[in-house]
Amino acid sequence: MSTSPEGSTADRIAASAAHSGGVANSSSDDVAEAVRACARRAKEAAVQLATLTRRQKDAALHAIADALVAQTERIVAANAADVSRAERSGATAAYLDRLRLDANRVAAIAADVRKVAALPDPVGEIVRGGVLANGLELRQVRVPLGVVGIIYEGRPNVTVDAASLCVKSGNAVLLRGSSSAEASNAALVEVLRDAVAASGLPADAVQLVPGAGHDAAKHLMRARGLVDVLIPRGGAGLIRSVVEESTVPVIETGVGNCHVYVDADADLDQALAILLNAKTSRPSVCNAAETLLVHAAVAETFLPRALAALRDAGVTVHGDARVAAFDPTVVPATEEDWDREYLSLDIAAAVVDSLDDAIAHIRRHGTGHSEAIVTRSQTAARRFAAEVDAAAVLINASTRFVDGGEFGFGAEIGISTQKLHARGPMALPELTSTKWIVVGDGHVR
């Protein structure tokens, strides 16, 4: 299946691991070499990918979508093995639901690949350009990053999403999924590689990183010079460990302790609708609200309604004393509650005496993801937008809108909560770098 020539023993170990999903009994050194061999093949593939036309890349994406549909049975069978293993190990119903693939879900994943094909090619876009006083022509154009590593947990659809976004942006991708989805990911990547190769692209554009456990991920994090960027997708623990251990540049994603601040001048009906939407429409995602802040001036009118509505929606409120005074079912908040990303039907809640206090609270406890204010005051909105330091600031809108799909990007590879390179929802342009092209006619300085 691989288009690469017969290589070293390490290459063959890596290639076989990429197909079987793991090298169960190899030592750490073997894993290190297998990961590096894998990354070297990705780097070779990236050279070819960088100069493909949009037409070639879109053809490969349609071939991937066709193959996913054609190979549904095989994919679902592999997934069934993961699911029954997870069942035996006592996974929760929610976890099993996220892991499970059926024919409809495979079809939906394939449809998403076609959506990526329909998006404009970011590569070659001229970001800035012009002619200098001396006649030199200058243009800054988007180019692929090269080799993108994704370390992720849980859902096997990420395997296909990440691969299709990387193919479209001309990057080779190294995928390191969770061991619980090992069989599903192996089957999906085999289908992807076959389709990519059949379209004339290098199969090594898409690879599973070989090796079991944390070891392989660790070697991926140390492959500086071979891997251009690592994007961890998953829980706070995973992201922290990648950020701390990696010598490869990392784009930090996802942890969202998002606040909804109800200002003294809020439209309280809007505030209630936004609060409920932000907290309850999908509590398990990073753009869900985790803390409610209410200005003291509207606490008496707003909090009784809000607390009743949250209770009716099954939400446990962890409130400070001023919130608890309105409702005996409020759980007293501890200091930790202000920093928690619950990802569940729980919310921390506090009364603040001013916009300044709300901003200070968010500065202290926010994770730089998405922060909302509900207010009719132009001044308050302007100050909140300017002074809150986050990837996204929302005025009279739910935090749930901070999403590549909602922003009209057509896709998303994660939400960056760091300040370098990309901030907020990341899609195709965020998977590119730039290059300056300078054209002269014998120009010297």
Residues making contact with a second copy (CB under 8 A)? 47, 50-51, 132-133, 136, 138, 140, 143, 145-146, 224, 228-229, 243-244, 247, 249, 251, 267, 269-270, 273-274, 276-278, 281, 363, 381, 385-387, 389-398, 400-402, 406-408, 418-421, 423-424, 433-445
159 versus 280: smaller Cβ distance to a second copy: 280
User: Least Å distance between CB 186 and a second copy?
Assistant: 30
Tokens for 130? 């012009």
User: How many alpha carbons fall within 13 Å on the CB side of residue 62?
Assistant: 8
77 versus 138: smaller Cβ distance to a second copy: 138
User: Least Å distance between CB 275 and a second copy?
Assistant: 9
User: Least Å distance between CB 430 and a second copy?
Assistant: 10
User: Least Å distance between CB 97 and a second copy?
Assistant: 21
- How many residues does this entry show for the chain? 445
231 versus 330: smaller Cβ distance to a second copy: 231
66 versus 387: smaller Cβ distance to a second copy: 387
Tokens for 42? 């990705």
**Do 391 and 368 contact (CB within 8 A), yes or no?**
yes
For 426, phi then psi, to 5°, come to -110, 130
End-to-end CA distance of the chain: 51
User: Least Å distance between CB 144 and a second copy?
Assistant: 9
Question: Alpha helices of 174-267 — where are they, by DSSP H?
Answer: 182-198, 213-221, 236-245
User: Least Å distance between CB 303 and a second copy?
Assistant: 19
Q: What is the DSSP letter of 203?
A: G
Pairing of strands 316-319, 346-352: parallel
Place of tokens 């009279």: 396
User: Least Å distance between CB 106 and a second copy?
Assistant: 26
Residue 229 to residue 240: CA distance in whole angstroms? 16
Residue 50 to residue 63: CA distance in whole angstroms? 19
Residue 108 to residue 41: CA distance in whole angstroms? 30
Q: What is the DSSP letter of 248?
A: S
6 versus 441: smaller Cβ distance to a second copy: 441
93 versus 133: smaller Cβ distance to a second copy: 133
User: Least Å distance between CB 264 and a second copy?
Assistant: 17
28 versus 281: smaller Cβ distance to a second copy: 281
147 versus 330: smaller Cβ distance to a second copy: 147
C-beta neighbour count of 346 within 10 angstroms: 17
88 versus 441: smaller Cβ distance to a second copy: 441
Q: What is the DSSP letter of 146?
A: S
Residue 80 to residue 103: CA distance in whole angstroms? 12
Torsion of CA 97, 100, 106, 111, to 10 degrees: 30
Largest alpha-carbon pair distance within the chain?
A: 80
Residue 82 to residue 99: CA distance in whole angstroms? 8
User: Least Å distance between CB 196 and a second copy?
Assistant: 21
Find the helix or strand (DSSP H, E) in which 149 lies.
strand 147-152
Residue 96 to residue 132: CA distance in whole angstroms? 59
160 versus 390: smaller Cβ distance to a second copy: 390
User: Least Å distance between CB 323 and a second copy?
Assistant: 22
